[in-house]
Amino acid sequence: MSTLEGFTIPKTQTAAVVKELGAPLEIEKSHPVKQAADLKPGECLVHISHTGVCHTDLHAKEGDWPVPSVHPLIGGHEGVGTIVAIGENTPNSPVKLGDRVGIKWMADSCLNCEFCRRGFEMNCPEVKLSGYTVDGTFSEYVVSYTNHVTPIPANLESAAAASILCAGVTTYKALKVSNTKVGDWVALPGAGGGLGHLAVQYAKAMGLKVIAIDTGAAKEKLVKSLGADVWIDFKTSKDIVADIQAASDGLGPHAALVTAASQTGYTQAISYLRKGGTLVCVGMPDAEMGANVFWTVFKSIRIQGSYVGTRQDAIESLDIAAAGKVKVIYEQKGLDALKSVYEDLEAGKIAGRVILEVSKQ
């Protein structure tokens, strides 16, 4: 086993735990920490400094997805911290003790199956999901996997890097598969949220024209400040399809990237998309999409699901943030604020992201 020189791993830690489905979130002050000697080959122990709170964590806590999570559940999958121990006999670790790394939703995959080989690591049958099937980043220490943790660029602060590990990589990858090119229009329902506000920025960095769709003055101000070309409030618009098409040459956007966790965000997209356009599905309500078959065929629409990103996508999305082209807009709080952050997410009150400082480093 190997432990970071001069570092003592405590026996207990603070962690935000949901003991069973439907149970309230509890901040446990003496949750056990896995010790270095107990790490398996390929595992590493990461001392978390910051973590983002994603709407997915809320789906996990509520248990509103058709795939069950583990319990007790420690959520969180936008974590940044330092590697303080690596399991004995870990072969060819791409990271070392003391490295600052990110923990993303995809905690580990086998890297050998057909899905991993074809660039669909997230669909690996052996995949481990941070904060869903394995403990996540809402704790001071988390066990992760040397092959999948993501090195954080030196010039990017941990708090600013955290949400790139999910919101950033997911929207960056979704834009990559959106079949768009420089100068095209993209509609972003959910633009003022955690994923959406990064989608606005990656889209602008890729040379796209952005129609930002969300609601309320705070989100309007945010997306406009990030370079959105058009703002449409889905609650006050009288005819959202007509408004979106009018804003994009009368023909509709070339792609829609839906990060809203609502069915209507999807149903409308088939109506307003340009002929030959692509609907990229990212937001994950457990709902039918309501895509009309006739119009999907008649308009030559492509419907593309996009699920997080690969190790390479994570590195690329962080590089773009490190180059200053994309910035996470966040409010920082402590781990004990998690319960109220969930309430605010549920109510749609958060413009951008909330980042929790888990430990001072």
Q: Which residues bind Zn ion (CB under 5 A)?
A: 54, 56, 166
The structure tokens listed for 305 are: 């699901």
With CB under 5 to 8 Å by kind, the binding choice for 16 among ligand NAD, Zn ion, none is: none
Residue from the set 56, 109, 130, 139 that interacts with ligand NAD by CB under 6 A: 56
Q: Which residue lies nearer to Zn ion by CB, 166 or 345?
A: 166
With CB under 5 to 8 Å by kind, the binding choice for 345 among ligand NAD, Zn ion, none is: ligand NAD
> Rounded distance, CA 293 to CA 9, Å?
57
With CB under 5 to 8 Å by kind, the binding choice for 194 among ligand NAD, Zn ion, none is: ligand NAD
Q: What are the backbone dihedrals phi and psi of residue 269, each rounded to the nearest 5 degrees, phi first?
A: -60, -40
- Binding flag, residue 131, ligand NAD (CB under 6 A): no
What is the smallest separation between the CB atom of 345 and ligand NAD, expressed in angstroms? Answer: 5
Of the candidates 113, 128, 156, the residue with the CA atom closest to the CA atom of residue 43: 128
Q: Site residues for ligand NAD, window 290-319 (CB under 6 A)? A: 306-308
For the purposes of burial, counting CB atoms within 10 Å of the CB of 68, is it exposed (0-12), middle (13-18) or buried (19 or more)? exposed
With CB under 5 to 8 Å by kind, the binding choice for 307 among Zn ion, ligand NAD, none is: ligand NAD
Residue position matching structure tokens 């709902």: 287
Q: Taken in order 119, 158, 55, 95, is the CA torsion positive or negative? A: positive
What is the smallest separation between the CB atom of 119 and Zn ion, expressed in angstroms? Answer: 20
260 residue type, one letter: A
DSSP 9: -
Point out which span in 8-16, 214-222, 269-277, 317-325 binds ligand NAD (CB under 6 A): 214-222
- Binding flag, residue 259, ligand NAD (CB under 6 A): yes
Stretch 147-186: interaction string toward ligand NAD, x if CB under 6 A: -------------------xx--x----------------
**Is the distance from CB of 348 to CB of 235 less than 8 angstroms?**
no
Looking at beta carbons, which residue is closest to Zn ion? 54
281 forms beta bridges with 258, 305
Residue from the set 213, 226, 301, 329 that interacts with ligand NAD by CB under 6 A: 213
> Rounded distance, CA 255 to CA 299, Å?
13
Q: What percent of the chain is helix, strand and coil (3-state, nearest 5)? A: 30, 25, 45
With CB under 5 to 8 Å by kind, the binding choice for 314 among Zn ion, ligand NAD, none is: none
Q: How far is CA 237 from CA 193, 213, 330, in A?
A: 19, 10, 27
DSSP 216: S
Count of residues binding ligand NAD (CB under 6 A)?
34
Of the candidates 278, 264, 287, the residue with the CA atom closest to the CA atom of residue 213: 264
- Binding flag, residue 283, ligand NAD (CB under 6 A): yes
The structure tokens listed for 283 are: 């937001």
What is the smallest separation between the CB atom of 357 and ligand NAD, expressed in angstroms? Answer: 19
With CB under 5 to 8 Å by kind, the binding choice for 350 among Zn ion, ligand NAD, none is: ligand NAD
Residue position matching structure tokens 């890097």: 161
- Binding flag, residue 137, ligand NAD (CB under 6 A): no
For 2, half-sphere exposure in the C-beta direction (CA atoms, 13 angstrom radius) is: 16
Residues of this chain that interact with ligand NAD (CB under 6 A) are: 54-56, 59, 166-167, 170, 189-190, 192-196, 213-215, 219, 234, 259-262, 264-265, 282-284, 306-308, 345, 348, 350
